[in-house]
Chain A
C-alpha cells in the first residue's frame, strides 16, 4: 500500500493514490492491522515515550487496552504525538482513530467540532501552586498576584472567570509550554502557577525542593478528560466507550490482570461472566469476539491497576485517586451495567 502511494507521489499525482472506499473505522483499523492513537507530545505520567521509544502512561495504557481488545496485542498500536493545536484536526481528518490525550470534554468540542467524547478517564480540575514562603493558604488571598498561565487553553479562561467572580485582579505572565511555565515560576517571574492539578502535582514532583511549594486547596474548574472519537461512526464509539467502561467495571468487580484468566473459567458473579465473555456474547454485538474485555484487562490491568502503575501515589507523579475513585469509594467513576 505504502509503496504504491509513494510511486504515485513520485509521479506527482494524488488522484491515483487509491480509490475512495467507505469503510467503517473498525474495518479500517482491522485492514491496517494496528490502531492509530492520538497521544500527547509528552506529559509526565499520561503519555510520553520512554528511553527506548516505547510509549508509556495513563492515556497510552488506555490505547493499549483498546488495541488488545481488537487485536489481542497491546502493541498493535502506533502513537501519533499531537499538540493541543493539531489534535482535533488530526482526529477529524482520520489521521488518528482515537484521541486519548488529556482532552477536556466541553460543549463546543462535543457539539460544534463534531467529536464524540465517549467518557471520562480522568476527572481533573484547575488549581494553583504558590511558593510556601508567599504565605498564602487560599486562592482567595491571591489578589494582585502575577500568574503564569499557558496561553490558548481553557485554563486561561477559567482563571479570568475565577478572579472576576471573586472581585480580584491579577497580572498574567503568558507562557507557551509547561516546561517554560516551570522555569518562569521557579525563576520568580510569577507568584502563582496555574494549570490542571494533575499537571501541577507532576511539576512539583520535579522541583529541587518540592516541599517549598504548595498546591492551594481550591479547584476552580471542571476538567473531565477522556478519549475522543469522530462523530458518525457509532459502532466505533461503542467499542472505545465500552472498553473504557470494562476497565472501570473490572475494578469495581475485582477483576485484575492477575485473576482474569482464573475468573474466565468460572465466577459466581454473572456480570463478571458477561464482561469476560463467558456469558451473553457481548463481544459479537460490538463486532469483536467475546474475549475482548478480558484481553484488555489482561493487557493493562483494570482502571485501578493502570492508575496505580502510571500516575498513582506510588509513582513519582503521586496523584491520589480523589474524584477518580469508584463511586462506591466516594469518587465519580461509574460504569453502566454490563447487561
Chain B
C-alpha cells in the first residue's frame, strides 16, 4: 500500500524545508510601516500630513527650547544673553522654582513639606499595593495627623488631641458593643464630639503648657504653590471616596429620608459650578460667621472641594452599583449576609472595580481643578505665576512658567492614570 504513491507521483519530498526568513516587504520595520502607517491611500495621506505637522511644530518649538537660557537674574538679562536669537528664558524657573513649589513657605523649613510628601507615599503605599504588610496601614491612619503637623507645625498636642477624639470613639464602641449594637454606634459617634467640644481644648492647653513640643508654626497664607495643590488635592481625594460611597449607598437606600438627603445633596452640588462653591467658601461664609472669627481659608476650601468631588464620586460609584447584576444582591441575601456585610464582601468590591476608570477620572479632574483656587486668590501655582510676572525682573515672561506648572501637574496626573491601569489589570477576573 505504501508504495502506491511512489509509483503514481514522480517526486515526494521526505525532508522538511529549512525555515526561511519572510520576504523583505513582509517583515521588520517595513512590514510595520506598511501595516500601520501606509495601509491604504487614506492612511498614507494622513501619515504624510501628520509627519508634516509634527515637523513644523518641532521646527517652531525646538530652537526656542534648545536655546534656553538657564542662568540670568531677569528677563532683560536673558534677552541680553540671547542677543536677538529666539530662546526660552528658563532662568525664571531657576530663580523662582521654590516659590512655584512651596509658595512663601519659610525656606529653612522646606524639609518639612518634602518629608510630608515622602511620608505620604509611604502612607498610601499599603493602600495602593496589597503586597505590602498590612501593619503599614496603622501608619496610613496616623498620617493625616503627622502630615498636618509637619506642614503647619504649631503645638504637637493639637493633632494629638484631635486624634484622641477618634480613639475615644473606638473605645466607646468597644465598651458599649457588648451592651447593644445600636447604642455602641451611637456612643462611637458621640464620644469624639464630646471629647472635641469639652475636653480637647483644655487638654491641648494643659499639655502644651506642661510639655511644650512641636515644630514652628507656619501660617496658612505662607503655604502656596504646588504644595497647596497637593494638600487640597490629596485631602479631597482621600475624603471624597468614602463620602462618595456613603452617598451612593444612601441614594440607593429604601429609607426615604436618607435617600432624599443624598439625592438633594448630590444634585445640588452637581448643579452648581465649583467656582461658585469656592467663592462662597472664601467670601460668603464670613457673613455667617461671627465677626472676628478666623476660620482657615485652606480648610474652608478643602471642605468645599471635598463636597464637590464627593457628589461626582457618588454618581460614579452608583454607575458601578447599577452595572452589577441583580443576582449578586440576591446571592448575598441568600447567603444570609446582613446589609453591611453584603456591601463589604460582595457588592462593593465588584462595584468599585467596575468604577475604577471613573473614580480615577474624577481624581484627576479634581486635582487639576485645584488651579481654580487662583480665582479666590489662594497662591496656587497659577496665582504665583501672576505674582512672579508682577516682579519687574520677570514682567513679560509667559510660556516658561506655564510649561513648568503643566509639567508638574502632568507628572502627578499621569502617575494616577498609570496606577489605575495597573489596578484594572490586576483585578481583571473575566477572560475576555
Contact = CB atoms under 8 A, between A and B. Distances in A.
B257 interface: no
Interface string B381-399: 0010011111110011010
Interface residues of A, number: 61
A94 B283 contact: no
Contact of B294 (A1, A21, A44): A1
Contact of B392 (A183, A202, A208): A202
B392 A53 contact: no
The binding surface of chain B is classed by DSSP as helix
Contact of B75 (A45, A82, A179, A206): A206
A151 interface: no
A314 interface: no
A153 interface: no
Q: Which of B197, B292, B296, B386 has the most CB of A within 10 A?
A: B292
B282 A86 contact: yes
B390 A206 contact: no
Given A3-B158, A10-B196, A41-B377, A93 B287 contact: yes
Interface in A64-120: 78, 80-83, 85-86, 89-90, 93-95
Given A41-B387, A51-B99, A51-B391, A95 B286 contact: yes
Interface string B186-228: 0000000100110011001000000000000001011000000
Given A3-B201, A4-B201, A28 B291 contact: yes
Contacts of B282: 86, 90, 95
Contacts of A315: 392
Interface string A24-63: 0000100110000000111111011111110000000000
A91 to B, nearest CB: 10
A330 interface: no
A21 B290 contact: yes
A9 interface: yes
A17 B295 contact: yes
B97 to A, nearest CB: 11
A7 B391 contact: no
Interface residues of B, number: 52
Given A1-B294, A81-B387, A183 B286 contact: no
B204 to A, nearest CB: 7
Contact of B377 (A18, A82, A182): A82
A279 to B, nearest CB: 36
A232 to B, nearest CB: 12
A339 interface: no
Contacts of A93: 283-284, 286-287
Nearest to B102: A53
B268 to A, nearest CB: 18
A269 interface: no
A182 B392 CA distance: 14
Nearest to B161: A7
Given A49-B387, A81-B383, A177-B386, A14 B289 contact: yes
B283 A44 contact: no
Contacts of A50: 391
A206 B76 CA distance: 8
B37 interface: no
A83 B378 CA distance: 10
B26 interface: no
Contact of B196 (A7, A182, A183): A7
B291 A21 contact: yes
B70 interface: no
A121 to B, nearest CB: 18
Interface in B80-131: 95-96, 99, 103-104
22 contacts: A2-B294, A6-B296, A16-B197, A17-B290, A17-B295, A18-B292, A21-B290, A42-B386, A42-B387, A42-B388, A44-B391, A47-B390, A48-B391, A86-B282, A86-B377, A93-B284, A94-B292, A95-B282, A205-B395, A206-B395, A206-B396, A316-B392
Interface of B: 75, 79, 95-96, 99, 103-104, 154-155, 158, 162, 165, 193, 196-197, 200-201, 204, 219, 221-222, 279, 282-284, 286-296, 299, 375-377, 379, 383, 386-392, 395-396, 398
Given A81-B379, A83-B376, A95-B283, 13 more contacts: A3-B154, A3-B204, A5-B295, A16-B197, A19-B290, A42-B388, A44-B392, A51-B96, A80-B221, A81-B377, A86-B282, A86-B283, A89-B284
